[in-house]
Amino acid sequence: MLFNSSVFLFVFLPVVALVTFLLARVTRSNAPAQAFLSAASLFFYGWWNPPFALLLVGSILINYTLGSLLRAASGPMRVTCLVLGMLANLGVLAYFKYWAFLCTTLGLHVPESSIFLPLAISFFTFTQITYLCDMYSGKIESNGFLDYVLFVAFFPHLIAGPIVHHRQLIPQFRGEGVFRARWENIVPGLALFILGLSKKMLIADLFAPFATDLFHQAAGNEALPLAHAWYGMIAYAFQIYFDFSGYSDMALGLALVFNLRFPMNFNSPYQAASVIDFWRRWHITLSQFLRDYLYIPLGGSRCGMPRMLTNLMITMLIGGLWHGANWTFVFWGGLHGSFLIVNHLWAHHRKRTGRAPLPRAAGVALTFVCVLIAWVFFRAETFSAGWKVLTAMFGGTLMSDTVKPFILKVPQVLMLLAGLYIVFKRPNTLQLMRDQRPCIEPVEGEMPAQGWKLTPRWAVACGVLFAVCLIRLNQPSPFIYFQF
């Protein structure tokens, strides 16, 4: 079920919110409302393909059981439970997401469409791996079954994150009156949801056709003009930015409606002045997961510079593979690993020599170009298409006898300028809503003068944005991160 669909907006969300609030109010207990919200979340997941809801339920049951055994066991039995949990989770993920990829890589035949990828399998698998690892480390005392089910399956974060940590969410379930209707949270939550919906439907989806057209031509034999390659790639950079940023805002807004807060997952990443800073701002919870459960266990930065850089590259390669079963994703991860290595070496050189850093504007521009280059292979389905786009960007021609000129029209130029202004100059939605505490962490920086407040002006603005989104509901499109 898509957030940008009529069935979600006019049936699922209002019914689930109303019943949850009524149950919490009538019973004066969190448990009935929590049970209903868990069941509704499983229904939300099964809407796309009902049998996969059984996979999610089975995964929850197995991991909760193993977590309980881990808590009660001692000695070698604890190691056995943890190993079984890792094998079960990674085995399911490997079969559904990577088996066909592995067979194809080894030259083995895989019947077409023999394996369907369940939605969000990477997200709910990683969520439960963190739980088992922390249970093994003694960081968790005990949790009720209802707490665990809702922690894993809560519909706002289930499909595309953020990857929520148990200590961030489960304690909130136990708050007094947490599932009751509170207008001080419902109103800003819905406003944040509408802002996120607008990013997706009114910005990301408008840039999408230009990126699609570029890679469609790259897959063929037609040569690409330089201007087409650059505009198409910037369009894709804006598409994935507003698509993922929009989903992150919607997830935070929906959680806030139920008086819950998620961690920040997106923080103006194109304003980063280095690739290191970019990964502190883009998909923040995935970066934290890879750091805490892969990079640090590998040794992190504790074993000297060469080992640290090796660990960094391994982490990014695996992070690339997490995004998709294709060598282009691995290459994308390797590119970012290389950028991070150069970034760390440069920072080490500056620290040793006392050299001044690059001006911030230059750092932001260089970082954006590096990220743009990497996006080429993230978007391309094949290396040949990716190389063709990259070659056109840095070695193409404006026009020739064999290359048709690419003429930017006024609407395209205005879209490009508007996108550049928003991502590089404007505060993000969490900064706009800083006073409403939209996420777990405090939002850095002062709230802009035009920040969100419960005023007629903002009510009209959100109403207009929502109305325009409704006009486009007949053109639903899935979120990019749904495929991961």
110: which DSSP letter? -
Identity at 442, one-letter amino acid code: P
Shared-domain flag, residues 29 and 107 = yes
pLDDT at residue 156, as a whole number: 94
Domain that holds residue 25: 6-181
User: Do 231 and 177 have their domain in common?
Assistant: no
Residue with tokens 């993230």: 378
C-alpha to C-alpha distance for 410 and 12, rounded to whole angstroms: 40
Structure tokens at 157: 């974060």
Tell me if 419 is assigned to some domain: yes
Give me 103's structure tokens.
Answer: 């067979």
Of 181, 203, 229, which residue is a domain's last? 181
Nearest to 441 by CA among 246, 172, 261, 256: 261
Q: Is residue 435 part of a domain?
A: yes
- What are the φ and ψ backbone dihedral angles of 266, each rounded to 5 degrees? -155, 125
Adjacent-strand bridge partners of 282: 266
* Cross-strand pairs, 266: 282
Question: Within this chain, do residues 129 and 233 fall inside the same structural domain, yes or no?
Answer: no
> Measured between alpha carbons, how far is 20 from 108 in angstroms, rounded to an integer?
50
If the chain, 484 residues long, is cut into consecutive pieces of 10 residues, what is the mean pLDDT of each piece? 90 96 92 95 92 92 92 86 92 88 80 71 90 88 88 92 89 89 94 96 93 91 85 96 95 96 94 96 94 91 89 95 92 97 93 88 96 96 93 73 68 90 92 91 72 88 94 81 73
Contact 256, 195 (CB under 8 A): no
Burial 5-37 (b: 16+ CB within 10 A, else e): eeebbeebbeebbeebbbbbeeeeebebbbebb
pLDDT confidence of residue 451: 80
Same domain? 221 vs 363: yes
Q: List Cα–Cα distances, 116 to 42, 45, 48, 181, 391, in angstroms.
A: 19, 15, 12, 39, 34
| Residues 159 and 234 occupy one common structural domain | no
In the residue annotation, 283 being an active-site residue is answered as no
162 vs 330: CA distance, rounded Å: 22
| Whether residue 159 sits in one domain with residue 226 | no
Is residue 312 domain-resident?
A: no
Count of positions (residues) in the chain: 484
DSSP string, 59-74: HHHHHHHHHHHHHH--
Is the domain of 125 the same as that of 261? no
Q: What are phi and psi for residue 462, nearest 5 degrees?
A: -65, -35
Query: Would you give the end-to-end CA distance of the chain in angstroms?
Result: 16
Which residues, 6 or more positions from 102, have their beta carbon under 8 angstroms from its beta carbon? 94
The DSSP letter of residue 434 is G
Are 260 and 403 in contact, with CB atoms under 8 Å apart? no
Sequence-distant (≥ 6) Cβ neighbours of residue 79 within 8 angstroms = none
CA distance 266 to 268: 6
Q: Who's near 187: CB < 8 A, 6+ residues apart?
A: 454
- Kindly state the helix (H) or strand (E) to which residue 225 belongs, with its residue range: none
**CA distances (Å), 406 to each of 226, 238, 335, in order?**
8, 20, 29
For residue 410, being part of any structural domain is answered with yes
Task: Judge if 245 and 171 occupy the same domain.
Answer: no
Q: Which two tokens stand for residue 112?
A: 């077409």
> Out of 157, 166, 323, 344, which one is annotated catalytic?
323
Number of structural domains found in the chain: 2
Q: Are 179 and 30 in contact (CB under 8 A)?
A: yes
- Tell me the C-alpha distance between 452 and 429, whole Å: 9
The token pair at 295 is 């990079």
The pTM is what?
0.92
Residue at a domain's end among 149, 181, 213:
181
359 by Cβ neighbours in 10 Å (0-12 / 13-18 / 19+) ranks as: exposed
Query: Are 32 and 152 in a shared domain?
Result: yes
Q: Token pair of 368, please?
A: 């954006």
The CA distance from 148 to 171, in Å, is 11
Query: Are residue 265 and residue 132 in the same domain, yes or no?
Result: no
Domain presence at residue 40: yes
Identify the pLDDT of residue 109. Answer: 74
Tokens of 270: 């194109």
Q: Which residue has the tokens 């698998």?
A: 125
Shared-domain flag, residues 42 and 137: yes
Query: Of 242, 244, 187, 245, which Cα lies nearest the Cα of 463?
Result: 187
Based on the domain organization, do 243 and 369 belong to the same domain? yes
φ, ψ (nearest 5 deg) of residue 282: -100, 130
Residue 301 in any domain: the answer is no
Quote the DSSP letter at residue 266.
Answer: B
Of 139, 159, 181, the domain-final residue: 181
In a domain, 344, yes or no: no
CA–CA separation, 122 and 163 (whole Å): 10
The tokens of 361 are what?
A: 């504007």
Per the domain annotation, does 286 fall within a domain?
no
Give CA–CA dist 96/107, Å, rounded. Answer: 18
